[in-house]
Amino acid sequence: MLSLGSWYLDSKGLKTPISPAWREFVSNQTRGGTRRSLLSRHMGTLMFLAGLIGMLIFGWVFFPPMLYTSTEQPLQFNHKIHMDEGGMECADCHPFRADGTFASLPTLQQCAECHEEPIGDSEAEKAFINEYVTPGKEVNWYVYSRQPMNAYFSHIAHVKTGGFSCEECHGDHGNSESIPPYQTNIISGYSRAVGGQAMAGREVLPTEVMRMDTCSDCHIKHGRRTPCLECHK
Amino acid sequence: MSRAKEKPEGAPRYAMTIDLDKCTGCGACMVACAVENNVPPAQSGANDRNGTTLMRVYAMSNKQAYPHAKQVFVPMTCQQCEDPPCETVCPQNAVEYDWTTGIVAQIPVRCLGCRYCMVACPYHARAFNWWDPTWPEGMEATLNPDISTRSRGTAEKCNFCHHRRQLARERAAHEDREMREDEYQPACVEACPVGAITFGNLEDPNSAVSKGFAKPEAFAFVEKLGTEPKIRYLSSQKWVHDMARSGVPGKEATNG
Amino acid sequence: MIVTRRHILKLLGGGAVGTIFSPIPWKLLRDSSVWTQNWSWLPVPQRGPVGSAYSACTLCPSGCGLKVRTIGGRPVLVNGISNTAWGKGGLCPAGTAIHQMPWHPGQLRSVKMRQADGRFMEAKLDVALAAVAAAIKGANGTVAILDGRPGRLISGAYREFLAGKGMIVQPPSVARSSMKVLRSLFKEDPGPLAIDVDQVKAVVSFAASVLENFGQPGLLQQSPKKIRTIQFEAIQSRTALKADQWVPIKPGTEREIALGLANLLLKKGYAANWDEEDRTALEKICAEWTPSKVFATSGVDEATLTSVANTMEIGSTVVVAGPDAVGGPLAIEAEASIQTLNLLLGSVGQAIKPVKIAADDPAFAAIDAVETKDLADVPAKSIEVLIIDMAMAGYALPWNLLADKLAPKALVVSLTPVLDDLAQHSQVVIPTALPFTTVQDIPGHPDFLRSVRMAQAFGAPADDALDPVDFLNRLGKILGINRDVTAADSLSELIEKQAEVLVNAKEGVVLQPKKDPADFDDIDEADELLKRFKRGACFVAAFGQIDTALKFSFDSLGKISDETKKHDFRMQLILTGGVERASLASRSPILSKVDQESGLNPFADGAHVNPETIANLALLPKKRWVVNTPEGSIRVQIRPDPTVPPGVILMSGAPNGPKPWDVANPVELASPGQKSWRIIPAVIKEA
Amino acid sequence: MDKTAISRGLQRAPLGQFLLWLGPWIALLAFGVYCAYLCLRYGLHLTNMDNRFAFGAWIFLDLTVIALGAGAFFTGFLLYILKRKELRAVINSAVTIGFICYSGAVVILMVDVGQPLRAWFTFWHPNVHSMLTEVTFCITCYLGVLAFEYIPILLKNRKLRQIPSFLVFEFNMHKVMYVLAGAGTFLSFFHQGSLGGLYGVLNGRPFVYRESFGIWPTTFFLFIVSAAAAGPSFILLTTWITSKVTKKRLVTQEVYESLGKISGYILIGYVLFKTIDTLVWISMTAPGMGVHPDSFFASKPGYTALHLLEVTIFGFLPMAIYMTKRLRSQIKWLVTAAVLTCLGIVVNRYILTIQTLALPTLPFDELLSYMPSWQETGAFLMVIAYGMIVYSLSFRYANLFPLERELQRN
């Protein structure tokens, strides 16, 4: 053990340790140290563990929610009613335009075709008629899965050419009776549905997340080439 | 590296010919390019060296005296090299040779702005966003949603208006047919008032570009660097060819 | 039991390790980099349904047809309409960005009036109008309207407004167009003439920019068959560069060359079928201009001259002279001599059937009631109230040409969307609508085949922008002037009126892009015609046959215009610049790609001088220099330029500066003493 | 407090005087930080770089600084691997300088890339063909190594030593010091090389493109050699300057001499390789790319001069001085040679970075010039100031020159 002194041997080749703290330490090491309570001997270790576990809990439990703000949609919307009682298909309200581009959400005018007068007597229905249809004001929905401007997604290539069903990416949205609040990442400003939810690992289903990896994984699975320009603009 | 991947069957290789005898240097292609690709107007203090010109027209002269002076105007954009010097240098794959189109793709959102690619490009075809992109108040309304606006601190270049191909493909899919090559033409090609620019698929031997490439008037700039550009310039004037090769009219590069 | 510093350190250590195994650092790293891809201050293009609409470019008289791509109703892209009778589908850079004009940063947002101290102040519209009205009432000199683009519906309204009270003034380069000179060569006026470019095999041009900005861009290049071009020009302009043959000449010797060519053509018996008297008359004038003498004056050697003469075939060669967009027109006799060649070549196209002018056609209202003068013919210091509507005429007009005509204390009013160079000199500035924000009519050239088209609007004009028709109405109200034929609330109403007239007249045809021409049998309603106009249609009056028995008069060829007075300006200043660069208002800021971020606008900066001249006169580019002309001087930087002949200074007449709408106008150097300001005596001195 | 923090037996200037010395540097640092802020906040147009001069002062200075910092790895290599024991006298100083140079370089890098927050993409989506990827990985790792090598030097501080666990840590660190030195050497050999490769691979730039051995162009190897040559010279220089500034003997003459001798030996190789390389490039490489070598120098004769100077005055001359025993024994000659060698590195990096970009590649283009803006310059001064401060503090509170105490006694 003492040979370790050799390593700060100075020009004189002086081997004896210099600092008193060091002497005490060395003696502790060699003679097992003076008697001290168990706790105080392991105090350091405990402290370390406290820090470790504390941060782990904070990081995994409390940190993730802090990243997101959620905004209520301007109106509640019941997809299920439209599907069941209305007997409608997704494509009735979310069609392709004449040039093959995807129309995304219906315009107020499209809605008004059926909803000139209130159908049923839900609060949302009333609000819709009074605040939007009558004054002719478009509803500015928050679109959960709207891709950022640098990403290009062709619905027709997936739905028509690729033969995907809406559910495969959007989940069972069509049967939802209400729409959840829209969550935004406070740093990136992305929708949570696009930015990803889980903190660890990588979600595989686009219903959970629509990150680049999600797209490329699926493309690779289906043997599609994935040049950058395929999806980036 | 994309070179390793083999080209998929029947995939096109897009290319361009530019006829220097026709080009009058009006600059319509530059403006059309800027408009189509959401390039902002010059910032005050911007100049021909730090401006964002994905398509830029240069004047090349034969260095003679009046009245023997001659000039041609050279529209210079990304040459979509088969062996792009910019691709291999990018540290994080923001540049990629797209084997499905032959286009050298530049992806600004991946770019960290190290500008190594710009140093590597002998055609100075790349531009860096030295400023935040800004438009006069309200003019954002005229921006083209088919392509993003690029943030400050990223490099960009011509992608042959690839987004136009995407749209053409969507239209074709909607009409249950294959996309016709003439449906996809970059903005500069459309805009050139004298029809100096031709664009098409090099894999198709009957396409206008394939024929253009075969012409004796066809040449590429600094060919000997071996980047194999997919843009060929056409000129019937010998001095233009000489300049393009050696930078000296009427003189070939020695031991070249 | 004490907690020492060492324990705290261990706590922190544990925390650090814990953090690394928690999502915190990694998620933050990722989100912060995603944030840089999604900066809130980065404009995001709005999505929407894609559509397309037709319109026309109103930036210059060429009025190219436009196909506009709209997204959610917003214009995002314009293209020319190819294969139409009025264009080949090419657009100039300015036209390519016209859809951005509604957001022009230089846009005038209020009425402006000049104060005693010379500064502009915002003013109420009524105040301004009252001032103008008062001036008109009190005027004992002339009240004039400067109409930059005659033939529009508003031109008719102007005439009707001025009927019996004033005159319409036309800027030189429009008023003295080649066509007008050509017509002056006939003993009795054959009416409007036309030259059908599609029939042409060869074009001999005198400094006309036929391969750049001559009418619609690419007019000749895109024509079905190859057209041979021969360019006589002192400067190696871009047209000269691209022409099949460029003949460099001494500046200002166009007339001599033309007469020399005429001389040779006469010897080839081109005038064989002419009236004896006419032929001898012309021969007398041309006789002196033997190739050798032409060489002496113009520097064009005999061989070249003869070879050019030999390439000129009857029926398939057209000779054009360029009133350059900025450089101003040629002197009349030069122009006339050049047009004489067209007579010899028989290339003067069919006369157009004189349009039966319906009494209620707003475009022709009060056509005889008001005298129309070329600016040059207006007596000096005679105008007391001048209302300027240059309407993006596509060229810059030297202010001093106007100033010369103004009476002391004259009131100058400008109708303009931006504070352009002429507006800078006015006392009252009335903001009008920017292009693409208001419907406009696109007339054909007054001296050509009559045609009518319509430019559609996208979006509304600025709040303070005043419709010129409305301007006349309000002014008329104060002055008690009522207009009948052009009575309307707005330009679009006038257009509807004219549609009525055209439909009733049942003359001519309606050409439509990608469709067969329609006549008025299937267009029986004004609304139908308007609908077609919206779809890019063009009304064209019918062609007629030219009367071959017409006799000519060559008086205008002989006399030389009064020489400029003696001066010690040893050099020649030539102003140049393209149409799209000439008008301040007519450029979107995106044009800075060309003007500012490339070397393409070579004239944006300074005076271009031949390297030899620079060497001889020791004009060190480092120093600051001034170009002096009889009219004044301007600070310049010297640019060596081998395309400029020795002894000549080449400058852009186009207003230029760091921003397109800045005003620094070299055209002010033009000399009003001369009928042509294409060549200005000048000298370079050290600043 | 201050007194007790200074190692036993070492004389250091009074605190006041020391702070007086630090003052200006701190001011400069503040100014530099402001400049860096400007560039990051408002965009890089403030740097006067442009699309044609896409690399500016920063890359030139980065390359230079890192080359000079090479002393750290090379001295470590000589000491721990080749067992040149006498270098123990300067190893601490060398490591400190290395640490300063590398951390400084990384800071500048983060200011001058457009999107520093995306820098980690290089680790997540690396393009293995890019020299810059190689550089990024190596520099990051080596910076880590340097930090590890630097820590024990800090821990030598008298105050910190009173914490036994630190002592143990320090002790164990020193046991692995050989490993660290080895790793460091390996890493820095690589990135010194890849920094050279950075330019040598540019087949679009005939002025810098060089034939390659295996996957690396000759510049890769030339950079390693030149850095290895410059490193010791820079250590020699800094040590000498420090001893002059502090008016103390820090190392013995023999240390200076052996540093010089090492530089000298490597310079022989460098001058030789460089000459061969240049000849090959002039006569084969460039013409092969369709460029007549004249055209490089026709535009500005100064360019040729620089090329010659680099090999002669900044290469051969110092080498000669180092290798002549009589001259080597005089400190003034050693220092002269060291200065020349360091200048040589500067010139070489300048030619490679700045001249390359100034020369046109398109036939209708002409020679460009470029001058960094005050913001850009300020950002670099920030690093200089940072270096001075760190080194001053280390010199005062850590024992950078183990021989110093003894040299003071007698």
Q: Which of C77, C211, C611 sits opposite B144 (nearest CB)?
A: C77
Q: How confident is the model at residue C496 (pLDDT cuts 50, 70, 90)?
A: very high
Domain count of chain C?
Answer: 4
Q: How far apart are CA D324 and CA D77, in angstroms?
A: 25
**Rounded to whole angstroms, what are the CA distances from C174 to C146, C211, C376?**
12, 20, 12
Tell me: do C335 and C367 sit in the same domain.
Answer: no
Tokens describing residue C649: 């200074």
**Average pLDDT, integer, range A84-89:** 87
Distance from CA of D40 to the nearest CA of B (A): 9
What pLDDT is stored for residue C324 in this prediction? 56
B162–A227 C-beta distance less than 8 A: no
Q: How far apart are CA D76 and CA D174, in angstroms?
A: 13
Tokens describing residue C606: 């300074």
Q: Point out the domain boundary residue: C298, C313, C343.
A: C343
CB-side neighbour CA atoms (13 Å) of C638:
25
What mean pLDDT value characterizes chain B?
A: 90
A7–D167 C-beta distance less than 8 A: no
**Chain B, 236-255: which have a CB under 8 Å from a chain D CB?**
243-248, 253-255
Q: How far apart are CA C81 and CA C538, in angstroms?
A: 12
Using the predicted structure, report yes or no on whether residue A223 has a pLDDT greater than 90: no
Using the predicted structure, report yes or no on whether residue B250 has a pLDDT greater than 60: no
Find the CATH number of the domain harbouring D71.
Answer: 1.20.1630.10
**Average pLDDT, integer, range B62-88:** 93
Tell me: do C595 and C663 sit in the same domain.
Answer: yes
* Residue D406 lies inside a defined structural domain of this protein: no
For every residue of A109-159, DSSP letters joined together read HHHHHHHTS--S--HHHHHIIIIIITTT-------TTPPPTTB---HHIII
What pLDDT is stored for residue A26 in this prediction? 55
For C457, list phi and psi in degrees, rounded to 5: -105, 150
- By the CB < 8 Å criterion, does D369 face chain B? no
Which range, of B94-98, B229-233, C365-369, averages the lowest pLDDT? C365-369
C21–A189 C-beta distance less than 8 A: no
Q: How confident is the model at residue C243 (pLDDT cuts 50, 70, 90)?
A: very high
What pLDDT is stored for residue B2 in this prediction? 42
Tokens describing residue D383: 């690093």
Find the CATH number of the domain harbouring C270.
Answer: 3.40.228.10
Tell me: do C588 and C639 sit in the same domain.
Answer: yes
For residue C186, the cross-strand partners are C552
Tokens describing residue C635: 């600070």
* Residue C529 lies inside a defined structural domain of this protein: no
**Average pLDDT, integer, range C621-639:** 83
A44–C7 C-beta distance less than 8 A: yes
Tell me: do C323 and C367 sit in the same domain.
Answer: no
B107–A232 C-beta distance less than 8 A: yes
Domain count of chain D?
Answer: 1
- D261 burial via Cβ count (<10 Å: 0-12, 13-18, 19+): middle
For D155-181, b/e burial (b = at least 16 CB within 10 A) is bbbbebbebbebbeebeebbeebeebb
- By the CB < 8 Å criterion, does B130 face chain D? yes
Residue C511: strand, helix, or coil: strand
What pLDDT is stored for residue C520 in this prediction? 87
Distance from CA of C221 to the nearest CA of A (A): 33
C71–B145 C-beta distance less than 8 A: yes
Residue C383: strand, helix, or coil: strand
Size of interface B-D (CB pairs under 8 A): 187
Tell me: do C323 and C205 sit in the same domain.
Answer: yes
Reduced to 3 DSSP states, what percent helix, strand and coil does chain D have, rounded to the nearest 5? 75, 0, 20
**Average pLDDT, integer, range B18-34:** 94
Q: How confident is the model at residue C420 (pLDDT cuts 50, 70, 90)?
A: confident
Q: What is the CATH number of domain B14-246?
A: 3.30.70.20
Higher pLDDT: B164 or C569? It is B164
What mean pLDDT value characterizes chain A?
A: 81
Q: How far apart are CA D72 and CA D93, in angstroms?
A: 8
Tokens describing residue C413: 């009013």
- By the CB < 8 Å criterion, does C36 face chain D? yes
B99–A229 C-beta distance less than 8 A: no
What pLDDT is stored for residue D180 in this prediction? 79
Contact at 8 Å (CB) between C87 and C400?
no
Per CB-CB distance under 8 Å, the chain C contacts of B74 are none
Per CB-CB distance under 8 Å, the chain A contacts of D161 are 19, 21-22
B98–A232 C-beta distance less than 8 A: no
What pLDDT is stored for residue B6 in this prediction? 62
Higher pLDDT: C114 or C346? It is C114
Range of the domain at D93: 2-399
What pLDDT is stored for residue D171 in this prediction? 75
What pLDDT is stored for residue B214 in this prediction? 95
* Residue D191 lies inside a defined structural domain of this protein: yes
Using the predicted structure, report yes or no on whether residue C656 has a pLDDT greater than 80: no
Using the predicted structure, report yes or no on whether residue C206 has a pLDDT greater than 60: yes
Using the predicted structure, report yes or no on whether residue C533 has a pLDDT greater than 80: yes
**Average pLDDT, integer, range C16-24:** 92
Per CB-CB distance under 8 Å, the chain A contacts of B174 are 96, 98-100, 156, 160
Residues of chain D where predicted confidence (pLDDT) is lower than 50: none
D362–B58 C-beta distance less than 8 A: yes
Please state at what angle helix D301-311 crosses helix D253-280, rounded to 10 degrees: 130
Q: How confident is the model at residue A94 (pLDDT cuts 50, 70, 90)?
A: very high
Distance from CA of A216 to the nearest CA of C (A): 18
D121–B224 C-beta distance less than 8 A: no
Any idea of the CA torsion for B97, B100, B102, B106, to the nearest 10 degrees? -40
Cβ atoms < 10 Å from Cβ of C487: 18
* Residue D407 lies inside a defined structural domain of this protein: no
Distance from CA of A141 to the nearest CA of C (A): 14
Given a contact as 3+ CB pairs under 8 Å, which chains touch B? A, C, D
Distance from CA of C349 to the nearest CA of D (A): 44
Q: Which of C6, C29, C35 sits opposite D120 (nearest CB)?
A: C29
Using the predicted structure, report yes or no on whether residue A11 has a pLDDT greater than 70: no
* Residue D261 lies inside a defined structural domain of this protein: yes
For every residue of C150-179, DSSP letters joined together read TTSHHHHHHHHHHTTTEEEEE-HHHHT-HH
To which residue do tokens 């559609």 refer?
C456
Q: How confident is the model at residue C173 (pLDDT cuts 50, 70, 90)?
A: low
CA-wise closest residue to D67 among D182, D258, D195: D195
Q: How far apart are CA C687 and CA C668, in angstroms?
A: 19
Q: How far apart are CA C38 and CA C44, in angstroms?
A: 9
CA-wise closest residue to D180 among D84, D73, D97: D73
- By the CB < 8 Å criterion, does C50 face chain A? yes
Range of the domain at C222: 195-343
Return the percentage of chain C with pLDDT > 70, whole number.
Answer: 87
**Average pLDDT, integer, range C203-211:** 88
Q: How far apart are CA A75 and CA A209, in angstroms?
A: 24
Distance from CA of D343 to the nearest CA of B (A): 25
Which chain D residue lies closest to B122 (C-alpha atoms)? D204
Per CB-CB distance under 8 Å, the chain C contacts of A55 are 14-19, 22
Which chain B residue lies closest to D114 (C-alpha atoms)? B153
Per CB-CB distance under 8 Å, the chain A contacts of B149 are 149
Long-range CB contacts (within 8 A, 24+) of B172-176:
B172/A100, B173/A100, B173/A154, B173/A156, B173/A157, B173/A160, B173/A161, B174/A96, B174/A98, B174/A99, B174/A100, B174/A156, B174/A160, B175/A100
What pLDDT is stored for residue A14 in this prediction? 43
Cα angle B125, B128, B130; round to 5: 145
What are the pLDDT digits (tens) for C101-158?
999 988 899 999 999 888 999 999 999 999 999 999 998 889 999 998 888 999 999 9
Q: Point out the domain boundary residue: C456, C473, C491.
A: C491
Q: Where are the alpha helices (DSSP H) in B130-176?
A: 162-174
Which range, of A156-165, C615-624, D46-55, averages the lowest pLDDT? C615-624
Report the Cα C285 to chain-centroid distance in Å: 34
Q: Which of B27, B41, B140 sits opposite C589 (nearest CB)?
A: B41
Tokens describing residue C193: 């003439």
What pLDDT is stored for residue C7 in this prediction? 83
Q: How far apart are CA B88 and CA A227, in angstroms?
A: 16
Residue C232: strand, helix, or coil: strand
Tokens describing residue C502: 């055209």
B163–A227 C-beta distance less than 8 A: no
Tell me the domain boundaries of chain B.
14-246
What pLDDT is stored for residue B254 in this prediction? 36
Tokens describing residue C118: 């010379």
Contact at 8 Å (CB) between A127 and A73?
no
Size of interface C-D (CB pairs under 8 A): 13
Query: A196: left (phi > 0), else alpha (psi -120 to 50), else beta?
Result: left
What pLDDT is stored for residue C8 in this prediction? 86
